[in-house]
Structure 1
Amino acid sequence: EFLQSLDDRKRFAETVTVVAGDIQSVKDIDGQPLDGIAFPTNPHLTNHHVGAAAAVFARAGHGLDEFIRDPSFRGARPVGSVVVTPAFDTGVGKLIHCIGPSIHMENCYELLRATYRRALEAMEREGLQCVVMASISTGSLGIPSEEGGRVAMRAIQEFLVGTGWRGKLAVVCKEEHVLRAFTAGESAVLGSFNVIPRLPVYDQWLH
């Protein structure tokens, strides 16, 4: 069990990276071309022209807008779910649209963990091997970046330990405070890999 844990920790360190950058322009991870992009969006998947979703829509071109606006594709998706679509002009194979929670939702951190988990499962199901991901719910939805980073890295750790996926996954952070928080979350996982930390607790009196 101890040796397995060392192997899992090594695989996490080799697989996961946190980088500064803009999801609109990232093309590779350590020289390996991207084949997937995972990013936060709203339940209707529409372009609200803010955040990471706006960057992905700009990268994808008009094809993604037209695809999302098609009447056969309309409707709200539940929080915690993900939707895979063609990637159009992004230069990758698939887009994974992630509907994350608001800080004001009950069990928001459990929902955030579930959103990451489903994005990772979709990545594996689609056969993707090199994926860039933007942080989920740390913008207008109000999840603090520190807690968001811890939840994200915990979800990634659990996914990698429970599967045989051996690709490349980069969390790209445009804002400096998000970069610091997710780097700290990554370091915390590597520093105590055998300890699965509890999820943060939302205190409504602090928000």
Structure 2
Amino acid sequence: MRITAEQGDITTARVDAIVNAANSSLLGGGGVDGAIHAAAGPRLLEACRELRRTELPDGLPVGDAVATPGFDLPARWVVHTVGPNRHAGETDPALLSSCFTRALDVAAEVGARTVAVPAVSAGVYGWAPDDVASVAVKAVAAWDEAHPGELDEVRFVLFSAPVLAAFERAMATARRR
């Protein structure tokens, strides 16, 4: 599996699935979540409301993931994951790692071969980009080792140059090991 990183807008990524840094309500929010909901159109919110009505009445737990169609996005699927909120005391790196591995599990389950992933929890949830990058790169590499050949590419699509630099550092460190 190829693991790459680039600065860009995840809503325009031409991949099978994009990962949404959602909140547990799944009903939209700010940052990546708000951008994905806006780009996907109103049917995404309808699909998320249906998930809340049926499978997830209490919301999506931190570290877990669920898929919906991509609707008006170029990606066929949106895989929603809820990152830990450092400001709320959610500081366990295992929870953050779970966001990435569960998102890849769900992407593979729906048949995706290419996945675009943001820096989950690096924005308003207060995690340092270097910490997110380190956890994300290790989680994705470990997932690939455990599931060889299931995905062709994981592309980290990052919103700013400093976050991209953090991911590039983490990827360089992982290659040296």
Whether these two folds match at TM > 0.5 is yes
* Aligned with residue 156 of structure 2, among 141, 163, 171: 171
Whether the 8 Å CA contact 2:84–2:90 is kept in 1: the answer is no
What letter matches 1:119 in structure 2? A
Q: Superposition RMSD on alpha carbons, in Å?
A: 1.6
Matches for 1:2-13 after TM superposition, within 5 Å = 11=1
- The reply on whether 1:160 has 2:147 as its aligned counterpart is no
SS in 1 for 2:165: helix
Paired amino acid for 1:68: C
Q: Return the match for 2:67 from 84, 88, 91.
A: 84
Given that residues 112 and 151 in structure 1 are in contact (C-alpha distance below 8 angstroms), is that contact kept between their aligned partners in structure 2? Answer: yes
Distance in 2, matches of 1:108 and 1:90, equals 32
SS of 1:157 mapped into structure 2:
helix
> TM-score, normalized by length of structure 2?
0.90
CA positional deviation for 1:106? 4.8
1:62 corresponds to 2:42: yes
CA deviations on 1:103-126 (whole Å, 9 max, x unpaired) are 243552110011111111112222
Question: How many pairs does the alignment contain?
Answer: 172
Consecutive unaligned residues of structure 1, counting only runs of 5 or more, are 1-10, 28-33, 193-207
Preserved contact between residue 19 and residue 116 of structure 2 (Cα < 8 Å) = yes
Q: Does 1:184 align with 2:165?
A: no
User: Which residue of 1 is the match for residue 78 of structure 2?
Assistant: 95
* Secondary structure of 2:10's aligned partner: coil
Identical amino acids, percent of aligned pairs = 27
- If the length of structure 1 is used for normalisation, what is the TM-score? 0.78
What residue in structure 2 maps to residue 145 of structure 1?
129
**Whole-angstrom CA distance in 2 between matches of 1:65 and 1:106:** 26
Q: Which residue of 1 aligns with 2:9?
A: 22
Q: Which amino acid aligns with 1:118?
A: R
Superposition deviation, residue 17 in structure 1: 0.2
Query: Structure 1 pair 63/106, CA: closer, same or farther in 2 (3 Å)?
Result: closer
Q: SS at 2:9's partner residue?
A: coil
Q: Which amino acid aligns with 2:32?
A: A
Q: Where does residue 105 of structure 1 map in the other structure?
A: 89
Q: Measure how far apart 1:166 and its partner are.
A: 4.0
1:132 maps to 116
TM-aligned CA deviation for residue 68 of structure 1: 2.1
8 Å contact kept, 1:24–1:58: no
Partner residue of 1:38?
Answer: 19
CA shift digits 1:3-43 (9 cap, x unpaired): xxxxxxxx5xxx1000010112222xxxxxx1111121100
